[in-house]
Structure 1
Amino acid sequence: MKFLDIGEVAERSGMRPSALRYYEEVGLISSIARSGLRRQFPPEVLLQLKLIAMGKSAGFSLDEISGMFGGNGAPDLPRALLHEKADELDRQIGELAALRDTLRHVADCPAPSHMECPTFRRLVDVAGRRSGTKRQKRGPKGGGGGGD
């Protein structure tokens, strides 16, 4: 089996060596040997790094991602947690689509003033209700009492 040194892993994965050293420090990946001062990794580390990048893109923390790898570094993906994250992404996609549609409407609206446009006012009302719902779920900003 041919091992990859840290420079090769960095080049193939597009990650900085400092990130690879950090991932090793927190237990996300493991080097298996050294050649001089250079860490050596098994080729499977490239798949692990892709999974880590995908997990980060999906919004998982490094601690959550770490829990998705078994003791031997093989993925051990918690299906229920993945479903929860997929549902969360669906909600975000819906919110972003509504925001995109609002922006397009505002950009293309023929009304002389956006405040005169009933569609714009309706879209703002809907966005305000969504924002208020989020704030209620998460609590007030800053964690203190009072307003924003």
Structure 2
Amino acid sequence: MHLLDIGEVAARAGVAPSTLRYYEEIGLIASVSRHGLRRQFGPEVLLQLKLIALGKMAGFPLETIGAMFGSAGGFELPRDRLLDKAEAIDLQVRELAALAETLRHIARCKAPSHLECPSFRKLLAAAGRDETPGKGNRRFSAERV
């Protein structure tokens, strides 16, 4: 088995060596040996780091990502949690698209003052509503205007 030095893993994965040491400390990855003081990893660590990066990008905390790694080095995908996360991301995408459209409107609005623009005032009113109990303001939504 070809072992990878911590520096090579860091460079190939695009993370700092300190991040690798932290991931090892909390049990997300494991070095298999040392060459002097430098940690050595098996090639499978690169896949693990990609899965960690994907989980982080999706918004999962490191603790949850760690729980997805099986004891035999496998990866257990909690499909129901992934579907919930995908739906939350879809909602965020819609909200961000509506926010982008609002910003475009503000930038292009010909009204002498934005506060004189009826569309802008409707957007502000919609932004201030809390239409989802327990979820806080749903920010900007084009469907509300």
TM (norm. structure 2) is 0.88
- Which amino acid is 1:90 matched to? D
Deviation at 1:41, TM superposition (A): 0.7
Off by >6 Å, runs of 4+ in structure 1 = none
Matching of residues 3-42 of structure 1 within 5 Å: 3-42=3-42
Deviation at 1:75, TM superposition (A): 1.6
2:125 and 2:74 map into 1 onto residues whose CA distance is 48
1:76 and 1:133 map into 2 onto residues whose CA distance is 35
Deviation at 1:56, TM superposition (A): 0.9
Pairing 1:93–2:90 present: no
Deviations 1:69-118 (A, max 9, x none): 11122221111010011111111111111111100000001111111211
Q: Could you say which residue in structure 1 is the equivalent of 2:140?
A: none
2:120 and 2:48 map into 1 onto residues whose CA distance is 46
Q: Could you say which residue in structure 1 is the equivalent of 2:143?
A: none
Q: Could you say which residue in structure 1 is the equivalent of 2:142?
A: none
- Which amino acid is 1:87 matched to? E
1:133 and 1:51 map into 2 onto residues whose CA distance is 35
Q: Is the partner of 1:76 in helix, strand or coil?
A: coil
Query: What is the total number of aligned residue pairs between the two structures?
Result: 136
Deviation at 1:133, TM superposition (A): 4.3
Q: Could you say which residue in structure 2 is the equivalent of 1:49?
A: 49
Matching of residues 67-146 of structure 1 within 5 Å: 67-129=67-129, 132-133=130-131, 137=134
Q: Could you say which residue in structure 2 is the equivalent of 1:143?
A: none
1:74 and 1:10 map into 2 onto residues whose CA distance is 22
TM (norm. structure 1) is 0.86
Q: C-alpha root-mean-square deviation of aligned residues, in Å?
A: 1.5
Q: Is the partner of 1:34 in helix, strand or coil?
A: strand
